[in-house]
Amino acid sequence: MTVYRRILLKLSGEAFAGDAGYGIDGAFTQYIAGEIVDVREAGVDVAVVVGGGNIWRGMAGADAGMDRAQADYMGMLATVINALALQDTLERLNQPTRVQTAIHMAQVAEPYIRRRAIRHLEKGRVVIFAGGTGNPFFTTDTAAALRAVEIEADAMLRGTHSGVDGIYTADPRTDPDATRLEEVSYLEVLNRGLKAMDATAITLCMDNKLPIVVFDLLGKGNIRSIVGGEPIGTLIH
């Protein structure tokens, strides 16, 4: 039994780097692909939004003096590299997968078309959304919220990879008194400045009543447990 029939999984680009801190770690890609296949076997539709911070971060380029829009477009291209790597790994595990990009590059991926994405999900394919929203000045968190709403996902799962298994009252790595919040409202996240996702993404989820689960991506079986209804991480609703 699952409480969610369709989920959108948000993966940060930094997670793809593994311990190296840069590039794509094959072991991590294999691990996350296995976790996705496990959830698909439970009959859950899975869509994925990937970041590109392991290769390039638009904000870093802007801070170094680049034009912000140009730097963000470079970041969008980085997400496509991660999406193709994940697609290859999933298909080697016999899981049909499609990559759809918000910026057109017909030789390597489909353009993002909402109805086509939903049809892929209905046919049991994993759909990876790359290229963010296709617009500069928006994060991949916002892209994840947007795509989740568009495909009528039941929840967005926001995976962390820093050893922090949810949202805390303070940084648990530096504050021993920090406590994990099992549930929190959208407004609390915004008003208290809790570091879950950017404000635009939280607001979009709030407006559309889309629950968000912030959880430890590196905990094996966590995604399957969440779709099964177990209280893993922090639920924002």
For residue range 50-87, list pLDDT tens digits in order: 999 999 877 787 788 889 999 999 999 999 999 999 99
- Dump pLDDT digits (tens) for 136-189: 999 999 999 999 999 999 999 999 887 788 898 888 888 888 888 999 999 999
Phi, psi angle pair for 146, to nearest 5°:
-60, -50
The answer to whether residue 32 is domain-embedded is yes
The answer to whether residue 1 is domain-embedded is no
The answer to whether residue 223 is domain-embedded is yes
115 secondary structure, DSSP code: H
CATH of the domain at 126: 3.40.1160.10
Phi, psi angle pair for 180, to nearest 5°:
-80, 140
Question: Residue 215 above 90 pLDDT?
Answer: yes
pTM score over 0.85: yes
The residue count for the chain: 237
The answer to whether residue 83 is domain-embedded is yes
Reduced DSSP (H G I as helix, E B as strand, rest coil) percent helix, strand, coil of the chain, to 5: 40, 20, 40
Q: CA of 142: how far to CAs of 96, 98, 148, 171, in Å?
A: 26, 21, 10, 23
CB atoms within 10 A of CB 104: 11
- The rounded distance, in Å, linking the Cα atoms of 30 and 124 is 20
Q: How many distinct structural domains can be found in the chain? A: 1
Give the contacts of 121 (CB within 8 A, at least 6 positions apart).
6, 45, 46, 47, 127, 151
Which percentage of the chain shows pLDDT scores above 90? 80
Contact 210, 156 (CB under 8 A): yes
Domain that holds residue 94: 6-236
- The rounded distance, in Å, linking the Cα atoms of 228 and 222 is 10
Question: Residue 195 above 80 pLDDT?
Answer: no
The answer to whether residue 104 is domain-embedded is yes
